[in-house]
Amino acid sequence: MADIGIIGAGSWGTALAVLLHKNGHKVTVWSILQEEIDMLEKEHEHKDKLPGVKLPEDMAFTTDMESAVKGKDVLVLAVPSPFTRSTSHSMREYVGEGQIVVNVAKGIEEKSLFTLSQVIEEEIPQAKVAVLSGPSHAEEVGRGIPTTIVVGAKEKETAEYLQNIFMNEVFRVYVSPDVLGIELGAALKNVVALAAGIADGLGYGDNTKAALITRGITEIARLGTAMGGRFETFCGLTGIGDLIVTCASMHSRNRRAGILIGKGYTMDEAMKEVKMVVEGVYSAKAAMALAKKYQVEIPIIEQVNAVLFEGKEAGAAVKELMIRDKKLENSDIPWG
């Protein structure tokens, strides 16, 4: 049995707390919000973010960072990506040398252009930092619906240790050393999911969705490999797998926000309506900055940025994508 601290009591943190408790581990859930902790202690259910998923009576809840972090075998960092740095900074004084921190949020920090594991490593240099990612809606994981994900870590031993902690008959865990590729796939797919939602909001169909997913993963892999990620990673669960589920499901806050934008909502109005952090909005600008730095073309993500931040009409953005210069689908395939 491992002693695990879940830092962040949103839908994903709560779902993973339930999963880890079922696996026989001791679980403490931390939130910065006293009212959230009060609700969890009283109701043993996150009524707002994960309704219908009951939390066990012996699960601990706290707003005290020291008790949630100090001496734990594993820390699962499950706050929204914009709060990864500030939360990591708050954790730092309580994290021991070699203590494992598993990041489960998805995003790129806009100012530094760091992946979230890089942010954590900068703030908590004494920690062993790993990532957990893949096509995994909290609403389904919390209900025990079969799910498959990937744990990435620099050390094989760390990845395999976490594989054993998280894996069960409904939650299959693979391991990978490509932490960078995993995180880039996870962050950039949220931007493409916004595009897929916008297309849905405009009333487009399955042809459009398939095109966005296929060309979207091409953009993600193009930028990701230029940055040092492995191409195989973008063909796997944290690449095309996560992109499919995020573009297709109404569980996806990025797709839901995109639908509203396609219907004419502003970015701020859409985020307010969704009532959750829309990670793709925060990763979109960072993706453009990275594409410029690495001299990579990402036309779908570029048009999403124009709609989000420049007031471009969504239909015009789609039209511009369709009438771009003629291209080969794959420049690496020779003629004859």
Kind of pairing, strands 171-176 and 147-153? Answer: parallel
Token pair for 196 = 């897929």
* CA separation for the pair 79, 286 (Å, rounded): 19
Token pair for 212 = 């966005």
Q: 189, 263, 292, 312: which is the annotated catalytic residue?
A: 189
Radius of gyration of the chain (CA): 20
Is the CB of residue 26 less than 8 Å from the CB of residue 61?
no
Helices (H), 61-136: 65-69, 84-91, 116-123
Phi, psi torsion values for 225, nearest 5 degrees: -70, -35
Helices (H), 4-155: 11-22, 34-43, 65-69, 84-91, 116-123, 138-141
H or E element in which residue 285 lies:
helix 279-294
Phi, psi torsion values for 135, nearest 5 degrees: -75, 95
Determine whether 13 is exposed, middle or buried from the number of CB atoms within 10 Å of its CB (0-12, 13-18, 19+). Answer: buried
* CA separation for the pair 142, 154 (Å, rounded): 28
* CA separation for the pair 182, 98 (Å, rounded): 22
Token pair for 219 = 């953009």
In the annotation, is 189 catalytic? yes
Handedness of CA 80, 14, 167, 129 (dihedral sign): positive
Active-site positions? 189
